[in-house]
Chain A
Amino acid sequence: MQSANFLWWIPGLPLLGSIVAGILHFVELRARKRSPGDRTYGATAAWCAVAAVGAAFVLGLIGFGALLEVGETGTLTSASWRWIDTGGFDVNVGMVLDRLSSVMVLVVTGVGFLIHVYAVGYMKGDPGYAKFFAYLNLFVAMMLLLVLSDSLPGLFVGWEGVGLCSYLLIGFWYEKGFPAEAAQKAFVVNRIGDACFLLGMFVLAGLFGSLDIATIDAGVRGVLADPERQGQLALAALLLFGGACGKSAQIPLFVWLPDAMAGPTPVSALIHAATMVTAGVYMVVRMNPLFAACPNVLYFIGTIGALTALVAGSTALVQRDLKKVLAYSTISQLGFMFLALGCGAWATAIFHLVTHAFFKALLFLGAGSVIHGMHEEQDMHRMGGLRKHMPRTFITFVAGAAALSGLPLLSGFFSKDEILAHAFADGGPYLLLWGVGIATAAMTAYYSWRMVALTFFGQERFDVATVEPHESPAVMTVPLMVLAVLAVVGGALGLPAVFHVQNLLGDWLAPVLAEGNELLFGAAPPHMSPATEWVLLGLGAALALAFAHKGFHDYRDGTAADARFASERPAAARFLGGAWGVDKAYATWIVQPVKLLAFLIAVVIDQFAIDGLVNGAGAGARRLGMRVRRLADGSIATYGLWMGSVTALLAFLWMWMGVR
């Protein structure tokens, strides 16, 4: 443990950037009253924000360097802030950089930096330019707080903070009605998860008498030894996972994420693909001893993950909106990560989190570039043939799609395969999850290449002369290229054992995960023979290639395949198009009843029943009221008289009763 107060600056710098950008926004608003076109402050704000995230990335690297020197289980810790004294225990918040949080810091600031740069180009000309960067920087600050906090309440500050930024950014274009509604939905659905998280914290506070993560990690064994408290441990794990379901868009709380696409595309890339939505995954890994102590909860998590992957993956097959495909794909990939967690494959979940951050951020930014070049068109049925018009976007987008679909040797191939291998190796009931996973992987390849074909190949299904699709400026395409490289080679972080090279990420994270692994597997973690592993790798590669080919082939000449599916299987098309009817079920079974209940309470119970009684009593006093109104004529003397006589009356009453 090495003390390092500079860690506070990692979230601190983006927070400062956010404040500066926010002030510049209001300064700009004032300036515009004099000269309406003023944009100078906006540009300054944008570069301040970019610099702040860049500096945080550099600090992350410095921290990473320091971490290399403090040994396997060493950590860097800052002085901690004594936040809330509950009377029983203190809630402290400190920053801690260990092997796990360092990976997250680098992903958040690294990918965050690229997306900030991209947004400088993408958001150019928006009247809320400075405000956008204030929100974006605030988001990065909150995400870093979430990742670096050494206590659950501290993590929760970041947890709700990123939710707030998500709300503000989804609703960034609030003048249109829908983004504002989507923002509200995102916040409320997340709040359901957060309420579970709160309760989870209270259970843990009762069990451990502290909410410091290190204390909980160290105390799990002790609690586990006490059979009476085992159930509470599982309850706490389940409740925390409920929080993760909200933040990371898992069944049944995933409905907010597709709507969240109403926000600007860099937001979708940063918040709703690369970082915030993975907070739930990070939290489970962070608390790995707790979850490892509850194998049943883990299996439940794996099941939810696999189901979410399947439901969202199949929904992505039929979407026409480019961003919607990516949104459902994100939900599906998050499902894969939770499947990994369910198998106790903590490092693998983080591995997929990292590669997904690369290729999904890339895909979203590529989609943004397309939408930008197509003048806000998002319907793939009105695209096509764009590879001629935007070659750089095309190449990088293909790299991202290839990584997502798990084509051999690309990043997504290795991380997804490692997840499925773990499910297979765990055996027993996990084989079922493995089956769901492999089916979803096939779908992933199919919709990825359908998306590529519909967008970039075939005839132009729009009027080329009026739309004039164009390539985006370098400030947008350079981040695309960097991310494309990462999406292609990112798999090198976690090569499978049969390659006989070091699994860089797995080995790096191993010390942090030792306690969880030991609690879950004991001395003998599930093992696979190299032959099985080769077979699984081969199967994954073959499936990906086959379905990628089929997806591409079906759609390279146009949208006919969609029409055919809709006419031949109308019920299935509707079912998948509406994401298995989950949204509609919410509207029917939760939203409407709540509204009805609110109406019943407000009108029937409150106004008729309770107030009816009150008004009955009040009618008798109406005459009194009339008289009082006459008294209230504004003259102080009258009031004085009134007050005096009432006081006298009360005094009389009181003495009379007192004497008795």
Chain B
Amino acid sequence: MSWLALITFLPLAGALLLTIVPGDRTTLLRGITFGVTLVVAAMGLAVWSSFDSALATAQFVTEREWFTLPGGTVVHFKLGVDGISILLVTLTTVLLPIVVLSTPGHIRIRVKEFMIWLLVMETGMLGVFLALDLVFFYFFWEISLVPLYFMLGIWGGERRLYATIKFFLYTVAGSLVMLIAAIALIYRAESSDILELTEWAAASDLHVQGWLFAGFALAFAIKVPLLPFHTWLADAHTEAPTSGSVLLAGVLLKMGTYGLLRFGVAMFPAAAIEAAPLFMVLGTLGIVYGAFLAMAQTDIKRLIACSSISHLGFVVLGLFALNQAGIRGSVLQMVNHGLSTGLLFLLVGMIYERRHTRALHDFGGLAAVMPVFAFFFVIAMLSSIGLPGLNGFVGEWLILLGSFQASPWLAAFAVLGVIFGAVYLLMATRKLLFGPIVHAENRTLTDLNGREIGLMVPVVLLCLWIGVQPNAFLDKTSASIDVVLERLDEARADQRVGRAVEQDRAPEGAESR
């Protein structure tokens, strides 16, 4: 059993173990879950530290035949990690123990089921990032969605049914489109190995690439979510329990942006070049649109959910800048958003557990009664609005630099997001923390306890570390991104040749292809 297989399936084993623990032993259940996630996190960090930044190809690869598809294609059980996935894998493993630690505050019923779903979800998410076989990838993609569906439906807020159905519909729509594209791809290429598929797809002509790209990109765009497929997100976030929101923002949305990079840009470079203007425009619109949405919210959790739309707009913008700075920034920003928005959701959860309301007008002046809470909230807010020295700045700056090289006008428009981001988050901070205390209930609130502080400290330290020494993270990704960029350059060169040929032929009236 290799490291990666162990990392991926240990949580699932933990989930199986939990099924034999009686449901009323909640402390034991939580303890086991925490222990399992902690071990996985340790292994994740081990993979991180022994990952060789100089290699562009997948590392720690483990491969075994799984089954044969009708038509003879052999599906492999294949896992591996490269520069594109390493950050997200480590982020996922590190985030899970923190999420488990946050659950005593808001998961009081059906603890056993929740912990089981949590562990199943970890396996699913890690599998998505680690799978190097398309069938295997799809398998994990689906596995990771089911737990969230139940988390929303069972432990969610008042409008959970509505949010659950909406989430389900969007997800199923996306999954089906991807399924069709995946089947078509596997059938055509006669392989399901992602590396082989990438070689095959990059060599195929623009027409084929275009259709396949469209299928994958649509599924991932819904997941990100990219404008105009975003309306499930605010509802899902608002109704989800805190830990669900943290995982949704921290990891699940990144499956979309990860997919766009792995199966969009890297696999279909020619199509990505053609589609780049569309995605850059949608990303930029998302940045500004999400910011305006956030500005109009009165529910703090919904406000943060809307801010995710804006932040992920940055990620998509950077990806489709299709250059070094843009893609580097996007990969880093996937992690940054997970940390800062995850932190914000944790904090909002903590305040909700005390006050049982999320309406901004129910708060005000909390800084006076909860100074430690205020301290962490302000740091999370600053990280989210991209203050230099914290993580958010580096990603945003690289994305803007890259997109400025690709399209100065769009970058100039996207910079509005930097301004509006400050507007809505500072407004929320002011209404939550500052001003006089107008509601008597807020006077007696207790400040954060040791557990709550302890679970946030590692995240805050990570935010600082990335902000001060981003190269430790960027270096891990650069070799793999270089390969993607080389493919893009080849595709650009091919297109130029293709266009030249077309122009030569055009006067003769011959077919263009």
Measured CB to CB, the residues of A under 8 A from B are 26, 29, 82-88, 153, 156-157, 160-161, 164, 167, 171, 174-177, 180-181, 183-184, 187-188, 191-192, 194-195, 198-199, 201-203, 205-206, 594-595, 597-599, 601-603, 606, 610-611, 614, 617-618, 621-622, 624-625, 628-629, 632, 634, 636, 639, 643, 647, 650, 653-655, 657-659
Contact = CB atoms under 8 A, between A and B. Distances in A.
A180 B422 contact: no
B430 A195 contact: no
Interface in B281-296: 289, 292-293, 295-296
B9 interface: no
25 contacts: A26-B372, A85-B471, A86-B324, A86-B325, A87-B325, A88-B325, A157-B388, A167-B426, A180-B434, A188-B426, A191-B422, A195-B418, A195-B419, A202-B411, A598-B292, A598-B293, A602-B295, A603-B296, A614-B169, A614-B170, A618-B162, A621-B165, A622-B165, A650-B142, A658-B186
Interface in B415-459: 415-416, 418-419, 422-423, 426-427, 430, 433-437
A595 B295 contact: yes
B231 A184 contact: no
B391 to A, nearest CB: 12
B69 interface: yes
A195 B415 contact: yes
Given A85-B471, A606-B231, A650-B179, 18 more contacts: A83-B469, A84-B394, A85-B475, A153-B397, A174-B433, A175-B368, A183-B434, A188-B422, A195-B415, A198-B418, A201-B401, A202-B400, A602-B297, A621-B168, A621-B169, A634-B154, A653-B179, A658-B186
Given A84-B470, A86-B328, A157-B388, A199 B412 contact: yes
A187 to B, nearest CB: 6
A625 B149 CA distance: 12
Contacts of A618: 162, 165-166, 169
A171 B418 CA distance: 21
A654 B179 contact: yes
B200 to A, nearest CB: 17
Given A29-B371, A175-B368, A618-B165, A84 B416 contact: no
B400 A206 contact: no
Contacts of A628: 153, 164-165, 168
A83 B412 CA distance: 24
A85 B324 CA distance: 10
Nearest to B423: A188
A194 B146 contact: no
Contacts, number: 188
Interface of B: 19, 69-71, 110, 113, 116, 142, 146, 150, 153-154, 161-162, 164-166, 168-170, 179-180, 183, 186-187, 228, 231-232, 289, 292-293, 295-297, 323-325, 328, 365, 367-368, 371-372, 375, 382, 387-389, 393-394, 397-398, 400-401, 404-405, 408, 411-412, 415-416, 418-419, 422-423, 426-427, 430, 433-437, 468-471, 474-475, 478, 481
Contact of B296 (A153, A176, A598, A647): A598
Contact of A632 (B150, B232, B398): B150
A206 B404 contact: yes
Contacts of B470: 83-84
A655 B70 contact: yes
Contact of A598 (B164, B170, B295, B474): B295
A175 B436 contact: yes
Contact of B435 (A175, A599, A659): A175
Contacts of B161: 625, 629
Nearest to B227: A610
Contact of A84 (B187, B471, B481): B471
Nearest to A91: B397
Contacts of A595: 295
B388 A160 contact: yes
B19 A658 contact: no
A598 B116 CA distance: 40
B400 A658 contact: no
Q: Main SS of the interface on chain A?
A: helix
Nearest to B175: A650
A205 B323 CA distance: 15
Contacts of B433: 174
- Which 7 residue pairs of A and B lie closest in terms of their CB atoms, listed nearest first? A87-B324, A602-B296, A180-B434, A174-B434, A202-B404, A598-B295, A157-B388
Contacts of A194: 418
Contact of B401 (A82, A180, A202, A657): A202
A87 B418 contact: no
Contacts of B187: 658
A192 B289 CA distance: 18
Given A88-B325, A191-B419, A658-B186, A610 B228 contact: yes
Contact of A188 (B293, B419, B475): B419
Nearest to B15: A636
Given A26-B372, A86-B325, A205-B401, A174 B292 contact: no
B398 A86 contact: yes
Contacts of B434: 171, 174-175, 177, 180, 183
Contacts of B116: 636
A246 to B, nearest CB: 10
A174 B154 contact: no
A615 to B, nearest CB: 8
Given A84-B398, A164-B387, A184-B430, A625 B164 contact: yes
A184 B388 contact: no
Given A184-B427, A639-B150, A199 B387 contact: no
B419 A629 contact: no
A180 B179 contact: no
A192 B419 contact: yes
Given A610-B231, A658-B70, A88 B324 contact: yes
Contacts of A175: 365, 368, 434-437
A199 B388 contact: no
Contact of A636 (B113, B162, B324): B113
A26 B153 contact: no
A87 B402 CA distance: 10
Given A643-B146, A657-B183, A634 B411 contact: no
B363 to A, nearest CB: 13
A174 B426 CA distance: 13
Contacts of A658: 69-71, 183, 186-187
Contacts of A29: 371
A491 to B, nearest CB: 37
A617 B172 CA distance: 13
Nearest to B234: A606
A617 B232 CA distance: 13
Contacts of A636: 19, 113, 116
A174 B419 CA distance: 23
Contact of B166 (A180, A191, A614, A653): A614
B435 A602 contact: no
Contacts of A639: 150
B104 to A, nearest CB: 20
Contacts of A156: 388
Contact of A597 (B166, B292, B397, B415): B292
A202 to B, nearest CB: 4
Contacts of B468: 83
A180 B296 CA distance: 20
A161 B474 CA distance: 24
Given A86-B401, A157-B389, A184-B430, A632 B367 contact: no
A184 B183 CA distance: 52
A643 B433 CA distance: 44
A614 B146 contact: no
B113 A199 contact: no
Contact of A198 (B293, B368, B400): B400
Contacts of A594: 292, 295, 423
B165 A625 contact: yes
A205 B405 CA distance: 9
B426 A84 contact: no
Contacts of B150: 632, 639
